[in-house]
Amino acid sequence: MKLFHSATSPFVRQCLVVAHELGLSERIELVPAAAHPINRDRNVVGTNPLGKIPALITDDGTALHDSRVIIDYLNELGEGDLIPRDGKERWRVLTEQSLADGMADAAVLARYETALRPEALRWREWLEGQLEKVASGLAELEAHATDFGDRVDIATIAFGTVLGYLDFRFPTLGWRDKRPNSAAWYEWFGARDSMVATRPPAA
């Protein structure tokens, strides 16, 4: 399998954490990608017309995206149990994953606003609106983090990778301040081999 990859993408990292957890990482060849909302990477566009990463080419040549589809695929391939199959548990975990992914979407957009958009065109309220989404997600996480126990599934992986992204791109945000439950949980989760092996480079 080939995965279009950047070490800084929280969505790519989610796929890699899943692959590590399922013992599939050796089967994935990482293809360096320069995904960018304006200067699109033509190689990525050839697999994902949206030009976004992660995008995966399976061993039989099938193109898969986005991260949720790739994760579902890897979970099935590795006969994993990272996605509950049915019942209330399934809908709860999928909704938690959706929240964590939404936080990552907002954080990536906030990053683009500050790192890519020319200064004269920046819109402070819009940036604040994205960070507000992140903050609301963090509040929800804080309310539930003590219930996570030793869960390792698509939702906890998504929360772990978005917190890692905040540490990487928004170190001054201080997300741990007044969020002791999330901080304690992440201390444990972030030390998993799968998380250590996929850490973004030093900012």
Chain contacts with ligand GSH (rule: CB under 6 A): 9, 11, 35-37, 51-54, 66-68, 101, 108
Q: How far is the CB of 15 from ligand GSH (least distance, A)?
A: 8
Please, which residues have CB within 8 angstroms of residue 74's CB and are 6 or more apart in sequence? 15, 18, 19, 22, 24, 80
For ligand GSH, the closer of residues 67 and 198 by Cβ is 67
CB of 184 to ligand GSH, least distance (A): 27
Residue type, 157: I
Taking only Cα atoms into account, the Rg of the chain, rounded to an integer number of angstroms, comes to 17
The nearer residue to ligand GSH, 97 or 182, going by C-beta atoms, is 97
Nearer to ligand GSH, 168 or 179 (CB): 168
CB of 181 to ligand GSH, least distance (A): 26
Q: What is the nearest approach in angstroms of ligand GSH to the Cβ of residue 141? A: 18
Shortest spacing between CB 123 and ligand GSH, in angstroms = 18
The DSSP annotation for 20-76 comes to HHTT-GGG-EEEE----SSS--HHHHTT-TT--S-EEE-TT--EE-SHHHHHHHHHH
The C-alpha atoms of residue 6 and residue 35 are separated, in whole angstroms, by: 8
How far apart are CB 8 and ligand GSH at their closest, in Å? 7
CA distance 99 to 163: 13
Contact between 185 and 192 (Cβ < 8 Å): no
For ligand GSH, the closer CB: 40 or 151: 40
Which tokens hold the place of 65? Answer: 């995206």
Of all residues in the shown chain, the one whose CB is closest to ligand GSH is: 66
CB 9 within 8 A of CB 199: no
For ligand GSH, the closer CB: 40 or 144: 40
21/179 with CB nearer ligand GSH: 21
